[in-house]
Structure 1
Amino acid sequence: MKMWNIVDIALFLVNACAIRCRGIEQRQAEKLKTGEKENKGELMMKTRRLTKWLSTLCVCSILFGCASANPDSEKQDTQWPKKIVLVQMPNENNPAADSQHEKFGQALSEYLGIEVEAMEASEYTAAIEGMAGGNIDVMLVSPMSYFQAKERAGAELLVSTPMSAEYVSAFIVRSDRDDITGMEGLRGKTFAFVDQASSSGYLYPKAALVKQLNLDPDQLESSDYFFKTVAFSGSHTTSVSGVQMGDYDAACVAKSIIAQMAEAGAVNAEDFKIIGSSDIIPNPAYVARGSLPEDLKAKIKAFFLSYKDADYFEAVHGNRDIRFVEVTEDDYQPAKEMLDLLHIEFGD
């Protein structure tokens, strides 16, 4: 739609007035030829009608021009991207769940009125770089990755699920290991973390070891500093299986993983015991790229908060009764303190 300005309106009115005046002049000339005379009253009446007509035209044109120039009257798509990319990441709170992410992305697309490309990624750092490059718009991040995404991509918190006292990292050993009864008993033993990007499989348990045993975070993974050796198994289930088979004396995993594996028939929960745990871990959160239009970010957030598909929450988050909730920087401050404790910084 054309954006009318003052010059457009002025030219339009001048042309309209000229046409109208030429019409009056032509009719007056014709009357003079025929000898007709137009009295003063008739001329004044026509003048009033012309003035009234031009005034009405002026008002209508200005109103039309202002309405067309008003950004709010334009479809939001003029500022919104035609498509946004939504990236889901592994959810350590329920890693074996059927994500239903495609259905979620379709619902978001219908709500926004633009295309939503739903993708899954397996590595936080690459996804964060994608957001920093403007190729990813919304993503699920771990507590640690949130601060990295904020630093690199200006990411802004949207929502999470309610924090749970059960979301902690558990230090596990075989139940028949009578020589290991507490955290100090891990000294000189073989140990497995999950991977260095995992909150419950590395960061939080490492912080627990540093705080509870007064260890040096920069030396903790060195052989024979505290542990005999340290390995990174790659997954929570691999760590549990490694402890069961004797590959590691101990490991740290999300506390819920043993129950999930036992329910699936992969292990017997009674074969393991927990000798320690980490602080409560904030849930992963959805973040939006900071440079997205403000009204788009607000509408994305509104969609999350209004989403009520119980099947989705049961499949993805293990509880059909929970829903997304708002979160703030304060909710993730303990995670920032943990990163400071471990001397982890995010540079450009």
Structure 2
Amino acid sequence: MLKRVASPCKKMVLTLVLAVGAAASGSLAYAQQVLRVSAIPDEAPTELQRKFKPLGEYLEQKTGLKVEFTPVTDYAASVEGLLNNKLDMVWFGGFTFVQANVRSKGQVIPIVQREEDEKFKSVFITTHKDINKLEDLKGKTFSFGSESSTSGHLMPRSFLLGAKVNPDTDMKRIAFSGAHDATVAAVSGGKVDAGALNISVWEKLVSQGKVDPKEVRVFYTTPGYYDYNWTVRADMNPALRKKLTDAFLALNKDTAQGKEILELQRATRFIPTKPENYKAIEDAAKNAGLLK
């Protein structure tokens, strides 16, 4: 029986195929050594970077991966980045998580949230003495944060509608500042009569002396609702997803590292979360005409 011997040409092709395969495999292995992280731009980019740096170093220790933080230009870009496989994990607000979850048909998974995010709140602020309740905002100028912000737009709008105040028809003018700290600046600078932002950023700005609560005051605080979380794609390696989840859950204020990270994240601790927690936000978005 004759043996078929591969021609030199075929051997060359086979060698080339194996080499290309090895290179591709190597590139894939390299890609898997980097965890690409981002966050909704609800504060200034420099502040987001400052807050994330110690957390990124901690996650590198816990996962063995290089962690790269990539700032995005707006809320929509954070959703697009995760859905288009350009990001692996994103700090979402409740509404941006809902948008990502609906658009991907459930192909994103929220892994943890801060304990504070179980009952998050928004505050309405003003410098005007004649504004003391939501109904007083009729005929006034007003600023939300970003259009895709849960605590800076969706939930404040929802509570306004509940008080029979339609921002689009009952107010003199509405604006979108793009970020919570920018909303405070707009109100304190007299650009608008009032505004809404998340309570966490408000308390931070007050504690840092960046706003005088005697000049700019809170006149309404919303009831609590679920908000922020860390979300990953559903196709992430389950072992990596568990490592990340466990790393967040292990953070505590008994260690210097844990204390620094939790204080920067304005968190008591991180707890597990699930998509069902954000059903009320999805319903509010639909009722407000912000989600179809």
How many aligned residue pairs are there?
256
Give the 3 Å change call, closer, same or farther, for CA 163–138 of structure 1 in structure 2: same
Indicate which of 212, 233, 237 corresponds to 2:177. 233
Check if 1:181 corresponds to 2:135.
no
Q: What is residue 229 of structure 2 aligned with on the other side?
A: 285
CA distance in 2, matches of 1:247, 1:240: 10
Cα distance in 2 for partners of 1:165, 1:159 equals 11
Matched, 1:343 2:292: no
Q: Which runs of 5+ in 2 are unaligned?
A: 1-27, 253-257
Q: Larger C-alpha radius of gyration, 1 or 2?
A: 1
Distance 1:253 1:114 in 2: 35
User: What is the Cα-based RMSD across aligned positions, in Å?
Assistant: 2.8
Equivalent residue, structure 1, for 2:95: 144
TM-score (norm 1): 0.65
Q: How has the CA–CA distance of structure 1 residues 100 and 203 changed in structure 2, closer, same or farther, with 3 Å as cutoff? A: closer
The aligned runs of 1:235-274 (5 Å cut-off) are 235-274=179-218
Aligned to 1:305: 249
Cα deviation, residue 145, structure 1 = 0.8
Task: Describe how 1:100-111 pairs up with structure 2 within 5 A.
Answer: 100-111=51-62
- Paired residue for 1:158, among 111, 115, 125? 111
Residues 307, 323 of structure 1: 8 Å contact kept: yes
Stretch of structure 1 that moved more, 138-147 or 195-204: 195-204
Q: Is the 8 A contact 1:161 1:283 kept in 2?
A: no
Partners of 1:257 and 1:83 in 2: how far apart?
Answer: 30
Give distance in 2, aligned partners of 1:241 and 1:106: 32
* Matching residue's letter, 1:157: P
Partner of 1:128: 79
CA distance in 1, matches of 2:201, 2:260: 21
1:45 is matched with none
Q: Distance in 2 between matches of 1:120 and 1:182?
A: 36
Deviation, structure 1 residue 324? 1.3
Q: In the aligned structure 2, how far is the partner of 1:91 from the partner of 1:236?
A: 6
Write the letter of the residue equivalent to 2:224.
I
In structure 2, what residue type is equivalent to 1:229? R
Contact 2:42 2:146 in 1 (8 A): no
Answering whether residue 263 of structure 2 is matched by residue 314 of structure 1, we say yes
Distance 1:314 1:122, change over 3 A: farther
Partners in 2 of 1:118 and 1:258 — Cα distance? 25
Give the letter aligned to residue 310 of structure 1.
Answer: K
Task: Provide the residue aligned with 1:295 in structure 2.
Answer: 239
The residue matched to 1:269 in structure 2 has which SS?
coil
| Normalised TM-score (structure 2) | 0.76
Deviation at 1:100, TM superposition (A): 4.4
Distance in structure 1 (CA, Å) of the matches to 2:205 and 2:42:
16
Q: Distance in 1 between matches of 2:99 and 2:111?
A: 16
